[in-house]
Chain A
Amino acid sequence: MNRPTPSIYSDLGAVYRPERVWAEGRAITLVIAHFLSGAGAGGWLIGLIIGLRLASLLGLAAVVLGGAIHLGFLGHPERALRMMAKPQSSWISRGLWSMLLFVPTAALYVAGAYGAWSTRSAFSVVMLVLSLVGMAGIFLYKGFVYAVARAVPLWHSPLLPVSYISAGLRGGAALALIGLAFSPSGQDRHAVQTWWLAATAAMVFLFALELAMGLDDKTVRRSLSALAEGSVAWAFFGGFVLFGLVVPVALVITSLDASIGSAGLLIAGITSLGGDLAYKYCMNTAATYVPLLGPRGIA
C-alpha cells in the first residue's frame, strides 16, 4: 500500500530507537557496497603482497562493483559526484575521493601487470603508489563513516575502524583464496592461508574486544541482545559464525598441510565472504541510538 513503513511511528516513542536507514530495505545495497569495497581493498593489497594477480584483480573488481552498487542506495545517484564536496569533514567524501583515486590508478597498474607496459616503469610505480593511497583511504573511511555516529554506541568506538580494516583484510584474503582456486600453479597457498587466518583472528579479536569495551553501555548491550537473540540473531549465528567462521576455518585449518582442492579453496573463500557480508549486515542492523531520556527521566 501507499504507506510509509509503520516502524517510523513506533520508533518515535521507543526508548532504544533502532537505526534503520542504513539497515533496512534498500540499505542492503549499502551493506553490500561497503562490504565489497572493503574486501576489494584487502584483495588488492594481499594480491600485491603475495603476488597473486588474480586476487588483486578481483579486489579491483570488487571495489568497482561496490561503488556501482552504492549508487543504487542513493536517493539521487546522478548527483553522486557531489559527494566529493566535503573531504575536509566528511568521511564519505574522503571515501569517494579514495575510490576515485584507487580505481583508475589500480586499473592502470593492472594494465601494466598484464603487459600493456612494464610494471617497473615510473608510470606504473606512480600508479601503484597512488592506488595504495586510495586503497588506504578505502580501508579507513568505511570504519569512520560509522564510527563518527556518536549517538550509535555500537559504531562509535575507536576500535571500529581498526576492526573494519581487519575485516577488509579478511575479505581480501578470502578473495585471494578464490583467486588461488583459479590459479594454475597454486603457489603461495600457505601465504594466503596464513593471511586469511591472521586476518580472521584479528577481526574476531577486535570484534570481541570492541564488544567487551562497550559492555557497560546500555545501548551497546541492547545491540548485543539483538545479535544474540533478536531479529538479526539468524544472520549473526547462521551467517557470520557458522557460515563465515566455522566452515572456512575448518576448511582452511584442515588443509594447512595437506593439499586442498580448488573446490575447497573456493568454498572457503565464498563462505568467508558470505560471513563477512552477514557480519556487516549485523553491525548495521543491530545498531541502536542512545536513549533520548536518561534512566531517571529527562535532564
Chain B
Amino acid sequence: METSDVHEDVWIPTVCANCFSFCPIRAHRVDGVIVKIEGNPDDPLTQGRICARGLSGINILYDPNRLNYPVRRTNPNKGRGIDPKWERISWEEALDTIAAKLREVREDDPRKLVASFGVNGGPQSYTLEAFAVAYGTPNIFVGGAGNHCASGKHFIGGLTHASWVSQPDFNFCNYFLNFGVPVGTGAYYGVNAAVRKMADARARGMKHVVLDPWMGMPAQSADEWVPIIPGTDAAVALAMTNLLLNEYRVYDHEYLEHETNGPYLVGDDGHYLRDADDKPQMWDAVEDRPKPYDAAFNQVALEVDRVVDGRRWRSAFSVIKEHVKRYTPELATEISGVPVVTIRRLAREFGSAARIGETIVLEGHELPFRPVALSYFKGPQAHKHSALISTALELLSAIVGVRSVPGSYVGINSRSLGHPETGFPKWSPTDGPDGLLVTGRWVVPPSQPWPPVYPKKPEDLGLGQLIPPSHGNTPMLPLVSQDPARYGIDYKPAVQIMVATNFAMSLSDPEVVEGFFKDIFTVNFNLFLDESAELSDIVLPDCSYLERLDVNADWMANGCATDSWSYPLRQPAVAPIAERRSASSVLLDLAERVGITPDINAVMNVSFGFREPYLLESDRQYTLEEVVDARYKSWFGEQFGLEWMRKHGILAWPKRVDEVYWHSFVKTRIPIYFEHFLTFKETLEGIQRETGLFLDLDLDDYQPYPDWRPCAAHTEPRPEFDLTAIYFRIPFQSFTSTGDNAWLDEVSTIDTYANRININTATAAKKGIVDGDWIELESAGTGKTVRGRARLTQCVHPEVVAMSGHGGHWARGLPLASQPGKGINFNRLLKQDFAHMDTLSLNLDLCAKVKVTKVGRP
C-alpha cells in the first residue's frame, strides 16, 4: 500500500442501494478504506438511521467474491451447474465484441435486443432503458422484481392515488388496517422514515391490525394479527364493504358523491351512459334527469336505479352496492378462514375510525379528516386476480373517503410544487377525460394509467403492448421468447444486456427461465458471478453503489408521503476497485460505439426530464458527470448542479399541505368503477378475433368492479397437496442481491425463521415433522421440489408454509449464499403460464399449492 503523509478521514454523503428505498447514507473513509456506513443525518426523513442491509454495504464493496475484470464464456454449453469456463478479457476487447454484436443485430432488427434491469439498479436501469429506446427495441424489462411486485397495485394506485405507491399518513392515522405490507416495519418504500413514523404513531396510539398468513415483520409488532388464507384478502375486504354499505350504512356519502365516479350512470352493458358529446352523465336529483358530469348540478344523486323509457339507469355506486351484497361475512369466512365476528368487528372499527364527516385545519386549510388507512402491496395482490384484488381493497378505502386526505392513505409524491427558491420540479395530478384523475408523474411513462393506453397487437416479448397495465413486467419474456410466432411476433431475440438483475433466479421457475438464456447472447453488468452471470456470455464488472455516480438515485424523492422532499446524490465513496466500471458510463460509451449517441441523448432529454438550457445536444458524447449535472440543474435549478450536490449530498425541503393532501386541491374525480376495463376487454377480444392468437388469455377479470376469484391454489383437487407455500420479506435481506453479504448471512442464521421452511406446529405434528427436519415441498403447479429445514412455529396459518424470499442460491460465484440450508429458492414452485398470471396486470400468482414430505437431508 502506498504511504501518504496526509492522513485521510472523511465522510462522503451518498445513497444506499441495497433495496429500492435508496436511503441517504454517508460513508466514513479513513486512509482510502470505508470503515463505516451510517444514515446521513442531514436527511430529514431517515434522520441518519438505516436498516441492517444498508449498514452492511461495506461487505458489498469488499466482498472477495466480487467480479473485478471482464470475463468471457468459453464453454458454449449453457445451463445450471455447467461451468462457463470464464476467460479473463480486457475491457477494450469486451467492448469491441459487444459493440460489433450490437451493430450487427441493430442492422438486422433492433427489436432483437432485450434490455433487462433490476429495481435495485435504479438509475443504472434508467440509463439502460435510455440505451434500449435509443437502440430501437421495445423489449425493456424490469427483471425479476418486476414480477414479484405489485403490478396490479401500481396500476390501480395510479388511477386512484395519482401515485406509484401510497403510504398511511402516520402523522394523523389512528387505525391502520394492513393487508400484510411491511410499511413501517422494514421494507416497502422509504423504509427507514416509515419505521420511525410508524413507531411514533403507535406510541401515540395508532392501532395496527395485520391480516397475513404469516406473523412476519408487520404482524410481529402489530396490535392484532389476523391470520388469513393466502389470496383471500379480497373476500374479506368485499365482505367488510358489504357490511359498511348495506348493513352498518357507514360510508362517506359526501366524498363518493363529489369526488368519485360513483354517481356516473351506467347501463346494462356496464358502460357509462354517455351523452351525445360522449360524456359520462350523472343524475340530477332535483331536475330528475341525467346531465353530463361537468354540468352544473342542483343535487347529484349517488344512488340511482331506475328505468326510464325502457332503459335502466343505475349509478356506478348503486351497481357496486348491489354487487357486493353477495359477499356476506359468512361467505368471506368460508373463503378466508377469518371468523365472522372478526370480519364484523374489523368493519365496525374501520368504519368508525374513519370519522366520516370530520375535518381538520392544517396551515389554514380545512380538510377532511380520515384517520384510517388500508394498505396492501405485493402479498395480498400477487395472485391470479391481482387487479380485482386491488380494486376490492381500494373500494373498501374509497367508501370511507380514504384518499390522500389527512390521516388516511396518501399517495407518495403525487404532487410537487417545487423547491421554494426555484419552483422546480413541478408536477400535479389533473383532471382528465371523463372527469377522472390523471397522475402528475408516472415512473413508467409508456403505461400511464389515465387516459388509458389501449391494448394493441404486441411487438414486444413481454406483451406489454397487449396488456398495457403490466408496465414492463417480465413473466411473459421467457415464454414468448421460446416461441414468438405463437404470439404473433415475427422475430427472435438475439442479444441481451442485463444490469443489476438476477432474474435467472428471481423470476419464476429457474429451469424455464434458463431456456431463455440458451440462444441469446447476453452481456451482463454484474457485481458477482451470480446465477444469471453463469448463463451469460460476457460479464462486465460493475461498480457497486459505493463506487459510482448515478443520475437519479433519488427517483422516489425519498419515498415518504408526508413531511419532506429529499433528493440525495449518489456519488462514489471510494474510487472503483480493480477494473470495475459503472454500467451507466459504459453504456454511454457503448452508445457511441454503436453509433446511437444522438438517439440516446434525445431519449435522456425526455426520460431524465431535462429542460432548457440543459438539454443534451444531439451529436456530442457526454460523460456521466455531465449528464448528472444536467439532470440536477434541470430538476432543481442552476444553483443545484452536480457541484452543489457533491458537497451537500442532499437537497431537501418540507412538503406542503397542498402537495401531501393534493386531493383537496385538485378538482377531479377518482374511479371506484373502472369502466375502461370493459373497453380493454373489447379491444382485446378484437385482437383475439383478428389474429386468432392469445385465445388462452381469459378476459373475465376485465370488469369494472371487484370480485373475489380463486387462485389455482384454492382449487387444487389432489388432497395430498394440502398446504399453500408463500414467501415473505425480512428486513435484513433483499431477495437475490444480499445473499453473499456475510453480516446479513449471520443475522439470517440467528433469526430462526429466515433460512427455514416455517410450518405450523400442529400441522407438522400431523405429518410427523419435528423442528429441524429436512423437508421437501413439491409444487402442484410445476411438479418441482425444493428442500429446506423445517421450523415449527405457532406463527403461521396451519394451512400455509412460509419462507423468506431471499435464499436458495446455487451460483459458484456466491460461495456463502449457495451453501445448502441458506434459504429456499421459492421460485421453483411457481408455474409460469396465463393460468397463473393476472391477465390484467401480468402479475404472477405467487402462492403455490404444495405437498410436504420429510426427507433425510438437503
Contacts and interface: CB of A to CB of B under 8 A. Distances in A.
Contacts of B749: 6, 9
B1 interface: no
B749 to A, nearest CB: 5
B70 to A, nearest CB: 30
A9 B750 CA distance: 5
B752 interface: yes
Nearest to B749: A9
A13 B752 CA distance: 8
Contacts of A9: 746, 749-750
B791 to A, nearest CB: 11
A12 interface: yes
B743 to A, nearest CB: 13
A10 B821 CA distance: 15
A12 B749 CA distance: 11
Interface string B745-777: 010011010000000000000000000000000
A10 B752 CA distance: 8
Contacts of A10: 752
A13 B749 CA distance: 11
Contacts of A12: 750
A10 B750 CA distance: 6
A261 B752 CA distance: 59
B858 to A, nearest CB: 15
Interface string A3-22: 00010011011000000000
Interface residues of A, number: 5
Contacts of B746: 9
A9 B746 CA distance: 8
A6 B746 CA distance: 10
Main secondary structure of the interface of B (DSSP, over half): helix
A43 to B, nearest CB: 46
A12 B748 CA distance: 13
> Do most interface residues of chain A lie in helix, strand or loop, or is the interface mixed?
helix
A143 to B, nearest CB: 35
Interface string A58-100: 0000000000000000000000000000000000000000000
A237 to B, nearest CB: 25
Contacts of A13: 750, 752
Interface in A1-48: 6, 9-10, 12-13
Nearest to A6: B749
A6 B749 CA distance: 9
A237 B303 CA distance: 83
A64 to B, nearest CB: 43
Contacts of B750: 9, 12-13
B746 to A, nearest CB: 8
Interface in B711-759: 746, 749-750, 752
A186 B639 CA distance: 104
Contacts of B752: 10, 13
Interface in B577-622: none
Nearest to B748: A9
A292 to B, nearest CB: 15
A279 B230 CA distance: 54
A186 to B, nearest CB: 57
A12 B750 CA distance: 7
B821 to A, nearest CB: 11
A10 B749 CA distance: 8
A13 B747 CA distance: 12
Nearest to B752: A13
A13 B756 CA distance: 15
A72 B270 CA distance: 85
Interface in B221-271: none
B102 to A, nearest CB: 44
Nearest to A11: B750
A195 to B, nearest CB: 49
Nearest to A14: B752
Nearest to A12: B750
A9 B752 CA distance: 9
B591 to A, nearest CB: 45
Interface in B138-190: none
Nearest to A4: B746
B360 to A, nearest CB: 37
A164 B746 CA distance: 40
B726 to A, nearest CB: 23
A251 B752 CA distance: 51
A13 B791 CA distance: 13
A6 B748 CA distance: 12
A12 B746 CA distance: 12
A293 to B, nearest CB: 15
Nearest to B750: A9
B564 to A, nearest CB: 36
B559 to A, nearest CB: 32
A268 B39 CA distance: 68
A230 B746 CA distance: 28
A250 to B, nearest CB: 41
A133 B752 CA distance: 52
Nearest to A10: B752
Nearest to B751: A13
A11 to B, nearest CB: 10
Contacts of A6: 749
A1 to B, nearest CB: 10
A260 B749 CA distance: 58
Greatest chain B CB density within 10 A among A9, A10, A12, A13 is at: A9
A4 to B, nearest CB: 10
A6 B772 CA distance: 14
A12 B751 CA distance: 9
B771 to A, nearest CB: 11
B820 to A, nearest CB: 14
A10 B746 CA distance: 11
Interface string B44-64: 000000000000000000000
Interface string A171-184: 00000000000000
A9 B749 CA distance: 7
B731 to A, nearest CB: 17
A91 B749 CA distance: 37
Interface string B70-101: 00000000000000000000000000000000
A94 B750 CA distance: 38
A10 B755 CA distance: 13
Interface in A234-270: none
B773 to A, nearest CB: 16
A109 B752 CA distance: 59
A48 B85 CA distance: 77
B671 to A, nearest CB: 47
A14 to B, nearest CB: 10
Interface string B98-125: 0000000000000000000000000000
A166 B752 CA distance: 43
A44 to B, nearest CB: 48
B710 to A, nearest CB: 38
A257 B750 CA distance: 61
Interface in B467-504: none
B487 to A, nearest CB: 49
Nearest to A13: B752
A12 B752 CA distance: 10
A281 B752 CA distance: 30
B792 to A, nearest CB: 14
A6 B750 CA distance: 9
A288 B752 CA distance: 21
B822 to A, nearest CB: 13
B772 to A, nearest CB: 10
A2 to B, nearest CB: 12
A163 to B, nearest CB: 36
Given A6-B749, A10-B752, A13-B752, 5 more contacts: A9-B746, A9-B749, A9-B750, A12-B750, A13-B750
Interface of B: 746, 749-750, 752
8 contacts: A6-B749, A9-B746, A9-B749, A9-B750, A10-B752, A12-B750, A13-B750, A13-B752
The 7 A-B pairs at the shortest CB distance, nearest first, are namely A9-B749, A9-B750, A12-B750, A13-B752, A6-B749, A13-B750, A9-B746
